[in-house]
Amino acid sequence: MAEMNDVALRIRSLYPGFSKAGKRLADYIIAKGDDVPFVSVRELSGLAGVSVASISRFVREAGFGDFKAFKKQLGRPSRSPVNSIYQPVHPDDSENEIIEKVFSGNVRSIEETLKILNRAEVMRAAGMIAKTSRLIFFGMGTSGNIALDAAMRFAQIDVQAEAYLDSYQIMTQSLRMKKGEIAFGISHSGRSIMTVRALELARQNGATTMGISNFIRSPLHKASDIFFCTVFPESRILMAALSSVAAQMCIIDALYLVAASRTKKWLSRSEKLNRKSEEQLRLPLNARSRKKE
């Protein structure tokens, strides 16, 4: 395709998680996408060298209900300039180019994640979180920082939320989990051995498991009762440290606010906090200090 549209971009972002047949089909669509809207599913099967069943599975994984909907969207032009999206950052890029690439990449990541996001699952997960006796976030490295941030958010609505980043603590806490509690794993690759194992152990003990990863076909997905996938394709060639953090935080914020909307107690508590904040802002700085003492 001379210029990739939104569907082709999504396919490229999901490419690492496809099966061999899925990747073969993806390669054909990316190369010959302009022709796909005009062929039948059986014709595409012959052209791409994959089965009709593989095409149906591929279409669902790409976020479409059926092949007809997939073709219709594939035939539409891109809604945003492609040459500034998902571009690797090079050492000789100007500072302005780096800024443009970072922002456009993150914006696109959020947009594409929203397209494939199962909103019914968000609502189901948020409902379970609002009622859980304990919500534990697990993550290593950068994902650990996201886990900490997530735990602080949910603690504001009186959910017993905690986060663990250290491998020993992750193992210890996962073994202590039980029915009625939720283990939430965060891993960009979905292959963090410690995070995946923590969810497996928590599930064995009766806890509900949830996960966020950038790859649909990942060990974290298999270990999660409810799973959310972000979209952010990364080039391994001269790529800066760009990740799916922005999209991950959007999913967590959505879960947090939907859960909060179901907690009337949070609404009254939020109003009290807002009133206290306004009172503090009205006081002179020296008066605020004396009041704290």
Domain spans of the chain, in order of start:
6-79, 116-262
- Of the listed ranges 47-51, 162-166, 232-236, the least confidently predicted one is 232-236
Pick the residue with more confidence: 77 or 89?
89
Q: How far apart are CA 137 and CA 156, in angstroms?
A: 15
Give residue 13's pLDDT band: very low, low, confident or very high (50, 70, 90). Answer: low
Q: How far apart are CA 232 and CA 243, in angstroms?
A: 7
- Of the listed ranges 1-5, 55-59, 75-79, 89-93, the least confidently predicted one is 1-5
- Of the listed ranges 45-49, 93-97, 135-139, 152-156, the least confidently predicted one is 93-97
pLDDT of amino acid 7 = 78
CATH topology of domain 116-262: Rossmann fold (3.40.50)
Pick the residue with more confidence: 238 or 197?
197
The letter for the amino acid at 218 is: S
The CATH classification of domain 6-79, taken from the options 3.30.565.10, 3.30.70.380, 3.10.450.50, 1.10.10.10: 1.10.10.10
For the residues of 73-109, what is the DSSP string, one character each? HHTSPPSS-STTSSPPP-TT--HHHHHHHHHHHHHHH
Beta-bridge mates of residue 135: 161, 182
Q: How far apart are CA 232 and CA 108, in angstroms?
A: 8
Give residue 2's pLDDT band: very low, low, confident or very high (50, 70, 90). Answer: very low
Kindly tell me if the per-residue pLDDT of 139 is higher than 90.
yes
Q: Is 14 within 8 Å of 65 (Cβ atoms)?
A: no
Number of residues that this document lists for the chain: 293
Look at residue 284 and give its three-state secondary structure: coil
pLDDT of amino acid 284 = 67
